Structure 1
Amino acid sequence: MAPIPTPPADPQDDLSAYVGLDAEGAERQARDRGWSTVRQLPPGAIITMEYRAGRLNFEVRDGTVTRSWKG
């Protein structure tokens, strides 16, 4: 029987450190720290809730990150 695949690990990162940064700078920093996908979303955006390893989500208001979460 084939082994069960292990999903790739998310980068070890302090997600709260992105809050308050400008969105473009936060995205560059996230990619430099190993996040493969970075999404910038407006407040209240309707999104799917499936979890994707390596994805970092930013809620952005007026060009500034107000919330950050993985998946």
Structure 2
Amino acid sequence: MEEGLFPHSRSMLDVSEIEEERRLAYVGMTRAREKLYLTYASQRLYFGTTSSNLVSRFVVDIPEELISTI
């Protein structure tokens, strides 16, 4: 889950679209029964260009005590 992918870069201009994607992320995460693995690529080759990526703001918003980093 990376910024620019989730939430999508086109949503960044509209607060209501960001909040809709946040709701979708919440629903998806809360459907996990036992474990949930969230991943992101710190670097990605995108249309021939390497880009550095930040973890999604939705992951950053998860309380630290609920996260185990592998």
Which interval holds the TM-score relative to the shorter structure?
under 0.3
Structure 1 length-normalised TM: 0.25
**Structure 1 or 2: more strand by fraction:** 1
**Structure 1 or 2: more helix by fraction:** 2
